[in-house]
Chains A and B, each alone.
Chain A
Amino acid sequence: MRRNRILITGVAIAALSLLASGCAASEPTPEATEEGAPAIESDGNVVLYAGRSEDLIAPLLEQFTADTGIEVDVRYGSTGEISALLLEEGDATPAQVFLSQDAGALGELTSAGLASTLPAEIAGAVPAGFTSTDDSWVGVTGRARVIAYDGEQFTEDEVPDSTNDLVAPEWSGQVAFAPGNASFQSFVTGLRVLEGEEAADAWVGGMAANDPVLTESNGDSLELVNTGAAQFGLINHYYWYAAAAEAGEENMRARLKFLPGDPGGIVNVTGAAILAGAEGDPDAIALVEYLLSDAGQTYFVEETYEYPLVPGIAAPEGLPALESLVNPGLDLSDLESLAETQELLAAHGLI
């Protein structure tokens, strides 16, 4: 009897779900407004969904408002949450601009038909390889993949020059990384493109078998290295600078090794898109332009030690030149390729 009732509950819920999916299906599916939108008047206000932390973005937006007089309504969240939210909202989204932590989320937005085509002067501001291939989003900053190592146990020379060496038995149980993290996954995509599917499969399989320390985020991986719980962490370079700003550089146990010429040291980008419903909105355009302006790019350089992507703006001191790092000319928002990477990681039980 009891089982039956539980079953009935299940069936009832399933039936309700069907009903609701019927409602959902009758909704118009989101489509990009292709026809040239009529010129929209500025209303002095722009709605931004920011997939980066408020602490970082808020001062920049204050500067923007002071310079342009345009007010920004901003909604913060992690890039994953914000992109899930945007996909759920579809056409009904109040967002006009999306600032993303990684290219994959922007690609997803484009493939759902929710991103508009950017004006040519914005789309062309950033060199190819660091921005979209179809002008649906523009790169804003770059971050290098690095090995964070335990500075109390190793000198920089003792740290492998390539992530390929980390499958060796001597590093068993010592390498921390976040397999579900977008920038880790785009590194694996880079590996596939640069060294071939077979080599990538061997590397992922080798790492999975080498007792890796799996974390949920780059920040967690760094924390493990910084506390001596792991010898190496595969992270983005700027996490170290954020932690050093809080704890003091001299107190950082973890140190960074950049990997020029190695797929393990590729550059990922953050980027911005204008939503389809805000195509041609002058306030939205002004905001994205500001992110690419001298003031915007310099802000990121100074606050987060990220690479500026607009040519002619100086990179943070002490970092290797952007050109020395591998940029395989990847389309970082290529989701089909991303899906293959995820299949590879799933097949080896990492995600």
Chain B
Amino acid sequence: MSESQRPRTPPPLIAVAGFAALLAAIPLIYIGVRVGEGGIDGILAVLGRPRLPLLLVNTIVLAASVTLAATVIGVASALMLTRLRLPAVRLLAVLAVLPLAVPSYLAAFGWLAAAPGIHGFWPAWLVLTVVTAPYVTLPVAAALRGTPTALGDVARTLGYGPARTFGLVVWPGIRSAALAGALLVCLYVLADFGGVALFRYPVLTTAIHQAYGATFDRNYAAVLAMILVVLALIVFAGERAMRPAREFGTGRQGAHEPVSAGALTPLAVAALLIVPVCAVAVPLASLIGRLINAQTVRELDVDRLVAAIGNTLGLSVAGAVLAVLLALPIATLVARYRGAIVQVIETAGSLPLAVPGIVVGLGLVFFSLLAVPALYQTAAVLAFAYGVLFLPKAIGTIRGSIERVPRSLEDVSSTLGYGPFARWRRVTARLARPGILVAALFIAVTAMKELPATLLLRPTGMNTLAVELWSKTDISAYGAAVPYAVALVVLAAVPAVLLSPRTERLPVEVER
């Protein structure tokens, strides 16, 4: 019944969502402008470079392999965390998402300090996989809690083995979440610079940074960025093709009893520890080792550290609020309606994640000087930049939680005389609130680590933890970098801990 009689997409919603998508597309527009300046000749010249095939192949191989590995690890972690009876499972759940707090450049830097000389594909693959695995673990764990285990029990009483039960009962329930997470991982890898540059694994993003660093050739950089966007479009098409047409059955918070893993328990715990050890423990430990061995330890400027913490906190919270506000209309539209315009809006809203931060930063310099010159180089523009930059990350999460709101409840509220907006506000948004909160925390933690756009857009003289960290590591002042690295990880760990699978449910029922 519902499929064929789905209501027409309301024009006001399209307008609001379209506007939000337009803001998110600023970096794409900027790339278009710069590529346009170079003309066809400019594009052809870049495509003809002998090094381009290597960059392209490296980029694709890295993105594909990290996405695959992070998805497998993420799904496995989520299953173990939600379905097995494990010792200290709260702690394990927190540790599983802690890598979110570690910027890829910091992880790479720490690994390099621990094992000098490692380089090339494998270290880049390892570091990116462990820092991105939580992007899959989180949504999948959330979806698993929404899938009643009763169905699994039924499957087992019918004599199905674990593999078949997973394929028939579990996977349909988490497929959408796993794909959304995998998409984020893939876009993260396409745009990442820090995790690959230090390992000397040449990809499109490192070439873009080189172009700005020595050739001052903005058109060349733009053409490379455009190639990244095209790759992202292909990834999107793939995700679309695999995304289930309809969300699988959704009892909210299906009660489930974790099962004992028996003799395999230590193995499961060890497996869950791999990601946090590789992403957090090794890098921090090796940096602290550098601090201890350093000959000259500069005195720590406490006021400066405190100021950086305050700035980081304020900016990331403001950015998260803005991103969620912009993502809400897009996510509502995508969750509830189908059609060409809906897909265009969703794609335009999500693509910019594949654009390297430095290009996004320049795009926003371009935009803010054009549209709001008075606000240029103010904290407002930087917070707005975070909002635009990370809005795509919020769309998937919020979409998923809106999809899980039973449509029948919305129908009931309609019969009670609520208008569309009141219905959305009092039913849909309220029930989707956990997802919205998760999205906000998620963005806050990402914004804290953001570096390239922050460097370009921050008010002159304003420092964040990421900027301080950058300036210390840039001059090989490893010792001086440690307090900032620790502060950044601790600060970002707060939202990460709140995000960890077992606590995420908390805020929902408190207020009614």
**Hey, which chain A residues are within 8 Å of B116, CB to CB?**
223-224, 226-229
- Which of B216, B241, B347, B348 is within 8 Å of A108, CB to CB? B216
Residue in A75, A81, A347 whose CB lies within 8 Å of B460: A75
Q: Which of A75, A226, A246, A342 touches B215 (beta carbons < 8 Å)?
A: A342
Do A3 and B237 have beta carbons less than 8 Å apart?
Answer: yes
Interface stretch of the complex, out of A62-70, A209-217, A294-302, A305-313: A209-217
Given contacts A9-B347, A18-B36, A349-B50, contact A84 B362 (CB under 8 A): yes
A339 vs B229: C-alpha distance in the bound complex, in angstroms? 27
0/1 string, A27-50, CB within 8 A of B gives 1: 100000000000000000001000
B188-219 residues with Cβ-Cβ distance < 8 A to A are: 197-198, 200, 202, 206-207, 209-218
Residues of chain A from 239 to 265 with CB closer than 8 A to chain B in the complex: 242-243, 245-248, 251
Bound form: Cα–Cα A4–B347 in Å? 13
Cα distance A83–B215 in the bound complex, in angstroms: 11
Q: Complex Cα distance A342/B344, Å?
A: 39
B25: chain A residues at CB < 8 Å are 13, 16
B502 at the interface (CB under 8 A from A): no
**A246–B482 Cα gap in the complex (Å)?**
14
Chain B 34-78 per-residue mask, 1 if CB under 8 angstroms from chain A, else 0: 011100000000000111001000000000000000000000000
Q: Which residues of B contact A23 (CB under 8 A)?
A: 370
Q: A13-B29, A87-B216, A214-B202 are in contact. Are A2 and B460 (CB under 8 A)?
A: no
Task: Give chain B's interface residue range (CB within 8 Å of chain A).
Answer: 35 or more
B340 an interface residue at 8 Å Cβ cutoff? yes
Complex: chain A residue closest to B35, CB-CB = A17
- Which residue of chain A has its CB nearest to the CB of B474? A53
A20 touches B29 (CB 8 A): yes
Q: Is A219 engaged at the interface, CB distance under 8 Å to the other chain?
A: yes
Contacts of A55 in B (CB 8 A): 471-472, 475, 477, 480
B157 is an interface residue with CB less than 8 A from chain A: no
- Complex: chain A residue closest to B472, CB-CB: A55
Expressed in whole angstroms, the minimum distance between the Cβ of B199 and any Cβ of chain A is: 10
B344 close to A77 (CB less than 8 A): no
A120 interface residue (CB < 8 Å to B): no
A139 to B240, CA, bound (A): 55
Q: How far is the CA of A53 from the CA of B469 in the complex (A)?
A: 12
Which residues of chain B are near A14, meaning CB under 8 Å?
32
Shortest distance between the CB of A150 and any CB in chain B (Å) = 12
B475–A242 contact, CB under 8 A? yes
Q: How many whole Å from A43's CB to the nearest CB in chain B?
A: 16
Give the residue among B30, B198, B212, B214 with the most A Cβ atoms within 10 A.
B214
Contact present for B36 and A80 (CB under 8 Å): no
In the complex, chain B residues whose CB is within 8 Å of the CB of A243: 476
B33 within 8 A of A: yes
Q: Are A351 and B295 in contact (CB under 8 A)?
A: no
Taking CB atoms, residues of chain B closer than 8 Å to A92 are: 369, 373, 376
**In the assembled complex, A169 has its CB within 8 A of some CB on chain B:** no
Q: A176 — nearest CB in chain B belongs to which residue?
A: B200
Query: How many angstroms between the C-alpha atoms of A76 and B472 in the bound complex?
Result: 12
Does B343 make an interface contact (CB < 8 A)? yes
Do A349 and B51 have beta carbons less than 8 Å apart? yes
The answer to whether A24 and B366 have CB atoms under 8 Å apart is: yes
Given the known inter-chain contacts A73-B460, A351-B210, please indicate yes or no for A21 contacting B358, CB distance below 8 A. Answer: no
**Is B84 an interface position by the 8 A CB rule?**
no
Q: How many residues of A contact B (CB 8 A)?
A: 78
From B49, B295, B373, B472, give the contact of A346 (CB < 8 A): B49
Closest CB of chain B to A256's CB: distance in Å? 16
Residues of A74-104 at the interface with B, using a CB-CB cut-off of 8 Å, are: 74-81, 83-85, 87-89, 92, 94, 104
Q: Does B5 lie at the interface of the complex (its beta carbon under 8 Å from any beta carbon of A)?
A: no
The verdict on A84 contacting B32 (CB below 8 Å), with A73-B461, A78-B474, A346-B50 known, is no
- Is A293 an interface residue, CB under 8 A from the partner? no
- Chain A hits for B215, CB < 8 A: 180, 338-339, 342, 351
Cβ of B202: which chain A residues have Cβ within 8 Å of it? 214
B418 within 8 Å of A (CB atoms): no
Contact A6 B236 (CB under 8 A): yes
Known: A17-B29, A55-B471, A227-B116. A246 touches B479 (CB 8 A): yes
Say which residue of A105, A224, A245 sits within 8 Å of B216 (CB atoms).
A105
Of chain A, the residue at the smallest CB distance from B233 is A6
Kindly report which residue of chain B lies nearest to residue A304, judged by CB atoms.
B475
Chain A residues within an 8 Å CB radius of B197: 216
User: How far, in whole Å, are A339 and B370 apart by their CA atoms in the complex?
Assistant: 30
Could you tell me which residues of chain B, from 445 to 489, have a CB within 8 Å of some CB in chain A?
Answer: 452, 455-456, 460-461, 471-472, 474-480
A140 at the interface (CB under 8 A from B): no
Per-position 1/0 for B166-177, Cβ under 8 A of A: 000000000000
B117 touches A (CB below 8 Å):
yes
Q: Flag whether A350 is at the interface (Cβ < 8 A).
A: yes
Which partner residue on chain B sits nearest A55 by CB separation? B475
* Contact of B294 with A by CB under 8 A: yes
Q: How far is the CA of A142 from the CA of B471 in the complex (A)?
A: 22
Q: Are A84 and B236 in contact (CB under 8 A)?
A: no
Chain A nearest CB from B225 CB (Å) reads: 12
Please name all residues of chain A whose beta carbon is closer than 8 Å to the beta carbon of B32 when the two chains form the complex. 13-14, 16-18, 20-21
Residue numbers in A under 8 Å from B476 (CB-CB): 219, 223, 242-243, 246
What residues of A have a CB within 8 angstroms of the CB of B35 in the complex?
17
A72 to B119, CA, bound (A): 41
CB–CB A216/B475 < 8 A: no
**Residues on A with beta carbons closer than 8 Å to the beta carbon of B472:** 55
Alpha-carbon separation in the docked complex, A90 to B206 (Å): 25
Q: A174 at interface (Cβ–Cβ under 8 A)?
A: no
Q: Which residues of chain B are within 8 angstroms of A89 by Cβ–Cβ distance?
A: 365, 369
| Cα of A94 to Cα of B365 in the assembled complex, Å | 12
Which residues in A have their C-beta under 8 angstroms from that of B210? 180, 216, 351
A220 to B285, CA, bound (A): 21
Is A10's CB within 8 Å of the partner chain B?
yes
Closest to A4 in B: B340
Contact flags B337-375 to A (C-beta < 8 A → 1, else 0): 000100110011001000000100010011001100100
Establish whether residues A84 and B216, one from each chain, have CB atoms under 8 Å apart when the complex forms.
yes
Find B365's partner among A16, A79, A85, A242 (CB 8 Å cutoff): A85
Pairwise interchain contact B460-A21, C-beta atoms closer than 8 A: no
Contact A88 B33 (CB under 8 A): no
0/1 string, A307-351, CB within 8 A of B gives 1: 000000000000000000000000000010011001000111111
Neighbour of A216 across the interface among B33, B209, B236, B369, CB < 8 A: B209
CB closest residue in chain A, given B229: A13
Chain A: which residue is nearest B50 at the CB level? A349
Most chain A beta-carbon neighbours within 10 Å: one of B29, B294, B452, B461: B29
Does chain B have a CB within 8 A of A12?
Answer: yes
Is A128 interfacial (CB 8 A cutoff)? no
- B residues with a Cβ closer than 8 A to A are 22, 25, 28-33, 35-37, 49-51, 54, 112, 116-117, 119, 197-198, 200, 202, 206-207, 209-218, 233, 236-237, 240-241, 293-296, 340, 343-344, 347-348, 351, 358, 362, 365-366, 369-370, 373, 376-377, 452, 455-456, 460-461, 471-472, 474-480
- 24 residue pairs A–B, Cβ–Cβ below 8 Å: A4-B340, A5-B344, A6-B347, A8-B340, A8-B344, A9-B348, A12-B344, A13-B29, A13-B348, A21-B33, A24-B33, A78-B474, A80-B209, A80-B212, A80-B214, A81-B212, A81-B213, A88-B365, A92-B373, A94-B377, A180-B211, A216-B197, A228-B116, A228-B117
Given contacts A55-B471, A182-B214, A227-B116, 12 further A-B contacts (CB under 8 A): A24-B33, A24-B370, A54-B471, A76-B471, A80-B216, A85-B365, A92-B369, A105-B216, A108-B216, A185-B214, A216-B197, A242-B476
The 3 closest A-B pairs by CB, nearest first: A17-B32, A80-B213, A180-B210
